[in-house]
Amino acid sequence: MKSTDIHTLSILVANKPGVLVRVALVFARRGYNIDSLVVSPVHNPKFSRMTITAKGDPTILEQIIKQVNKLIDVIHASEHDTSNAVDRELSLLKVKVTPSYRTIILKHAKEQHAKVVDETDRLMILAHTGSTEELNALETLMTRYGLIEVVRTGKLLMLKGKETT
Amino acid sequence: MSKKTPKSNATMTGAEALIKGLEAHGVQYIFGLPGGAAIPLFDALYGSKIKTILVRHEQGATHMADGYARATGKVGVALVTSGPGATNAVTGIMTAMMDSIPIVVLCGQTISPMLGKDAFQEADISGITMPVVKHSYLVKEINSIPRIIKEAFHIASTGRPGPVLIDLPKDMTAGAFTGSLDAEMDLPGYSFPGKGNKTDIVKLAKMFKQSKKPLLLIGHGAVIAGADNIIKALAEKMRCPVTMTLLGKGGFPESHPLSLGMLGMHGTAYANKALTSCDLICSIGCRWDDRINGNNDEFCIGAKKIHIDIDPAEINKIVKPDLSIIGDAKMIAEELLKHVSPLNTADWLKELEFYKQEFPLHYSDAEGLTAQRVIDDLYHVTKGKAVVTTDVGQHQMWAAQFYKTDRGVNWISSGGAGTMGFGFPSAIGAQFGRPGELVVAIVGDGGFQMTLCELATAAVNKQPVKVVVIDNKYLGMVRQWQELFFDNRLSGVDLKGNPDFVKLAEAYGIKGFHISKVDECKSVLEQAMKHPGPALIHAEVIKEGNVFPMVPAGKSAYHMIIEAPKTKMEKPTGST
């Protein structure tokens, strides 16, 4: 594994103030940059799920996972890849629209299963759900027509089969 | 409701519920210093079974709690106020974290509606201390106090121990408590390993059997687990030599013929020679600190490395072991003892004996009184039985070398953090925990001056601690580095202006002794150790003594220097 590989961590934590800081400190102290982070309560409101993607040296990541697991408020933390899990991300894309491009933008959006969620004469907001790669693809495509702004949720991940994440 | 369950009591305050929780945990002493935000807590201590020990600075409170914990194996408790009171405690908390010491630190805090509004003496102490605590709490519900206390003691004292901080807004301690004192813990994310994998333990026994030059490396984890006796049995059964880290001292009796004493940067030459020559090194409760390894690439080349630790995060952190076993040091050693058999180590022990004869720890009286002479005499005067605490620096290394320790709980030193100012207050804490025993703080003139205000605490509480101030009028360890690696360009190390330490002691009503000559050293120490109350022994030693052997930082044991080098040395590359 290269130090530029992106790793995805899934962390189940107690739903309490300060937990995010404790987890983030473990990364920061070891010079690891968090690329994306999603936190929300799970079906039992006592707990929250954090899904973190980060780039860096895998040996440092091993240490980070162990140190995160040691935090009292962390129930468990582990790294997953997409071979045994599904992952999704949502992006909102604000695109400049001219009469000549309108049709082609809508065609791309339809092909990529993106939805138009807001529209004016000049602007359109697309909501796009998919894998990180699919989101990247549509984003790159839209830069041709004038991409004004992108907001992405960051990756969500869930294990396939009976096993819980 | 059973009779034991205390009834909820509307007239009880949060602070009173908290103190009841501490009493239920058998807390004898609280080391602390009040302030506005902590008054409800001090008020609840009024009339409590728990004795409040008023310190003179909050760093002292945390070190006392720490010394008490190390000397007794129980949880030490400190109580400080908000803001600067709490920040003064940070050094002590970090010291306890680095050395895995169970302490609970209670901090007063501004009232909760004022949190985050820059109230008077408000500091975000939970935030400030997050990287240096095992866990922390900011109390937001009065009725959660009994649960939090229970959890704090459980977390601090189990698994790999460590400090727990509880931040207590004043409205939480002053407000009415209406809950039950019998709270259940709620820690779904906390567990700690126990016995260790039996298959791996059997495998380890086989690895020992195949080894011709085995070495046991004993760390603080073994001392914390109380594995001393089992390790002795293990070493004796296998006829395996033993070396110890600074904090592992006493995890195996240093006076034992199989002991090689401390290894590492200022370890014995024979322990470091053993590192370069062994074919198997089995660490029990040591984290392969950089003072031991120096350079990982050259650490015990060719030797099988085994790592036994209770903390899974220690495995692969520094050393990639050939075999690792996660669990309690004592339980694993007990199981291992069942599977090992006597090894044929006669040649190996002979080789080590040769190193012991060839490169013994030594010093000379030729140039006057040395720190080594003082500590060596102290060892003989006290017959090696004292509880010894140290500060940090040259005297600490000399104490580690010349004060042989036979019981882990008798050696108290700031290892990981290297906190100057630790030695004296930790001795006071140890003395509270071990009344009737001789407790000696060996400190340097530099570190002692960082926390000497606690002379008042020792005097007022009649704690018969003996403080041996090794005075070389320098910040000696830094001076040594500047001499060896920086062309003797002495910068910021001259302690000109030291007080007359004997007069200083007397000013606090403490008996002072003075030593400056070799021939008076032993007799003065004898008198001082017999003194019934606290005493300070001012030992003026030669100014420019250096600690040897020395493995330069970032180098392996192969590069050990046994004597002062004649030529200039290159600057070390390793961590500090």
A6-80: CATH topology = Alpha-Beta Plaits (3.30.70)
Quote the minimal CA–CA distance from A67 to chain B in Å.
Answer: 6
Cβ of B155 within 8 Å of Cβ of A72? The answer is yes
User: For residues A15 and A46, is the Cβ–Cβ distance under 8 A?
Assistant: yes
CATH superfamily of A86-157: ACT-like. Chain A, domain 2 (3.30.70.1150)
Indicate whether B190 belongs to any domain: no
CA B242 to mean position of chain CA atoms: 20
Active-site hit among B58, B122, B335, B540:
B58
Clarify whether residues B288 and B389 are in a common domain.
Answer: no
Which residue of B148, B190, B314, B324 is the best one to mutate when testing the A interface, meaning the one whose CB has the most A CBs within 10 A?
B190
B170 given a catalytic annotation: yes
C-alpha angle B92-B25-B421 in degrees, rounded to nearest 5: 15
Residue A3, pLDDT score = 64
Whether B9 maps to a domain, the answer reads no
Q: Evaluate whether residue B564 is within a structural domain.
A: no
| A160 neighbors A86 (Cβ within 8 angstroms) | yes
Query: How many other C-beta atoms are found inside a 10 Å radius of the C-beta of residue B506?
Result: 13
Asked if pLDDT for residue B6 goes beyond 60, the answer is no
- Asked whether residue B2 is assigned to any structural domain, the reply reads no
Whether residue B542 lies inside any domain: the answer is: yes
Q: Name the nearest CA neighbour of B89 among B101, B78, B100.
A: B78
Half-sphere exposure of A66 (CA within 13 A, CB side): 17
| Model confidence at B532: pLDDT above 50 | yes
- Domains A6-80 and A86-157 alike in fold: yes
Contact B281, B217 (CB under 8 A): yes
DSSP 8-state assignment for residue B559: G
Q: What is the pLDDT of residue B3?
A: 47
Please enumerate in sequence order all residues whose Cβ is within 8 A of that of B563, keeping only pairs 6 or more positions apart, or say none. B548
- pLDDT, tens digit, for every residue of B440-490? 999 999 999 999 999 999 999 999 999 999 999 999 999 999 999 999 999
Taking 3-state DSSP, the helix, strand and coil percentages for chain B, each rounded to the nearest 5, stand at 40, 15, 45
Q: Are B99 and B139 within one domain?
A: yes
Nearest CB neighbour to A72, from listed B190, B316, B317? B190
- Shared-domain flag, residues B348 and B387: no
Where in chain A are the domains?
Answer: 6-80, 86-157
Query: In this predicted structure, what is the pLDDT of residue A81?
Result: 85
The confidence band for B572, taking pLDDT boundaries of 50, 70 and 90, is confident
- pLDDT of B134-174, one tens digit each? 999 999 999 999 999 999 999 999 999 999 999 999 999 99
Pick from B116, B140, B174: which residue ends a domain?
B174
Under an 8 A CB cutoff, do B312 and A14 touch? no
| Spatial contact of B537 and B519, defined as CB atoms under 8 Å apart | no
pLDDT at res. B7: 47
Q: What is the ipTM of this complex?
A: 0.91
B2 confidence band (pLDDT: 50, 70, 90): very low
Q: Are B160 and B224 part of one and the same domain?
A: no
- Set B51, B120, B210, B317: catalytic member: B120
Specify whether the CB–CB gap between B266 and B273 falls below 8 A. no
CA atoms within 13 A on the CB side of B405: 30
Task: Give the H/E segment covering residue B167.
Answer: strand B164-169
How many domains, in total, are found in chain B? 3
pLDDT-derived band at B10 (thresholds 50, 70, 90) equals low
Residue B461 domain boundaries = 371-553
Instruction: Work out the pLDDT band at B93, boundaries 50, 70, 90.
Output: very high
Strands of chain A, DSSP E: 6-14, 33-41, 47-55, 74-80, 85-96, 114-119, 123-130, 147-152, 156-159
Contact A95, A69 (CB under 8 A): no
Q: In what order do the strands lie in the sheet with A74-80?
A: A33-41, A47-55, A6-14, A74-80
Find, in chain A, the residue whose alpha carbon is nearest to that of B137: A18
Give the domain CATH number at B523: 3.40.50.970
Q: What is the pLDDT along chain A (165 residues), one digit of tens a residue?
A: 556 788 999 999 999 999 999 999 999 999 888 999 999 999 999 999 999 999 888 889 999 999 999 999 999 999 998 788 999 999 999 999 999 999 999 999 999 999 999 999 899 999 999 999 999 999 999 999 999 999 999 999 999 999 888
Q: Which chain B residue is nearest to residue A29, measuring alpha carbons?
A: B131
Spatial distance between the Cα atoms of B337 and B224, rounded to a whole number of angstroms: 19
> Closest partner residue to B131 among A17, A25, A69, by Cβ?
A25
Catalytic residue among B150, B170, B404, B555: B170
The residue assigned the tokens 């408790």 is B77
Residue B351 and residue B208 in one domain: yes
Q: What is the C-alpha end-to-end distance of chain A, expressed in Å? A: 23
Query: Are residues B321 and B454 both part of a single domain?
Result: no
Q: B41-78 burial, b for 16+ CB within 10 Å, e for fewer?
A: bbbbbeeeebebbebbbbbbbbbbbbbbbbbbbbbbbb
Q: How many percent of chain B have pLDDT more than 70?
A: 98
Please report the pLDDT score of residue B574 as a whole number.
Answer: 77
- B78 and B132 share a domain? yes
Residue B298 pLDDT class (50, 70, 90 cuts) = confident
